[in-house]
């Protein structure tokens, strides 16, 4: 009952339990932070818009994305994963979300940025519903902590639209 392995086992269990408690306490401090993020997205250009051979619509956009997510960082933040999704409704689907771009913000000083980019991921519909389609561009971010609970939030920017005809 007092052999080395029993004691090592008890010590290890105790250590892991204390570690887990400390991680939980660290995570609770994240709730004290009230982020005030800002974001703005513009579609600078619609590069092309066509129907694929398999019948799905696809469009290529150039986007200007500006955001200030510095207030989402806490001492317990490892990185913030940010992505921009186009969200729209079609006759068959109540919600379509297509991620167009994403990035990792590793530190607070990089959390204020403005970039211009074409969509990193292809904007392909499930079907041929995009002509004249109105859609929202929503900037989502996930705060990934050094330990503990992850937080996610978003800013919805409505009012974007696609042309009536392919080009």
The footprint of other proteins (CB under 8 A) covers 9-10, 13, 16, 19-20, 23, 27, 78-79, 81, 83, 85, 92-99, 102, 104, 106, 121, 126, 140, 142, 144-150, 152
Are 103 and 110 spatial neighbours (Cβ–Cβ below 8 Å)?
A: no
CB of 84 to other proteins, least distance (A): 10
Q: Which is nearer to other proteins, 70 or 138 (CB)?
A: 138
- Is residue 134 within a helix (H) or strand (E), and if so which, with residue range? strand 134-145
Quote the least distance from Cβ 19 to other proteins, whole Å: 7
User: In the complex with other proteins, which residue's Cβ is closer, 28 or 48?
Assistant: 28
> Judged by CB, which is closer to other proteins: 91, or 159?
91
* Minimum distance from residue 17 beta carbon to other proteins (Å): 9
Task: Compute the half-sphere exposure of residue 5: CA atoms within 13 Å on the CB side of its CA.
Answer: 0
CA pair distance 115, 39, nearest whole angstrom: 12
Q: What is the distance between the alpha carbons of residues 139 and 143, in angstroms, rounded to a whole number?
A: 13
Give me the least distance between CB of 96 and other proteins, in Å please: 5
Taking CB atoms within 8 Å and a gap of at least 24, the contacts of 17-23 are 23/147, 23/148
């Amino acid at each position: 009952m007092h052999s080395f392995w029993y004691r090592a086992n008890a010590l290890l269990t105790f250590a892991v339990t204390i570690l887990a408690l400390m991680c939980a306490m660290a995570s609770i401090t994240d709730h004290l932070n009230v982020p005030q993020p800002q974001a703005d997205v513009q579609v600078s250009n619609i590069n092309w818009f066509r129907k694929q051979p398999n019948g799905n619509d696809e469009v290529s956009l150039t986007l200007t994305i500006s955001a200030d997510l510095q207030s989402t960082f806490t001492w317990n933040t490892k990185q913030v994963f940010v992505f921009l999704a186009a969200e729209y409704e079609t006759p068959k689907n109540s919600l379509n979300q297509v991620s167009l771009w994403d990035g990792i913000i590793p530190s607070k000083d990089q959390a204020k940025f403005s970039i211009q980019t074409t969509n990193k991921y292809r904007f392909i519909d499930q079907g041929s519903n995009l002509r004249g389609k109105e859609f929202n561009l929503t900037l989502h971010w996930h705060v990934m902590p050094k330990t503990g609970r992850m937080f996610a939030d978003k800013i919805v920017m409505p009012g974007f639209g696609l042309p009536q005809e392919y080009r």
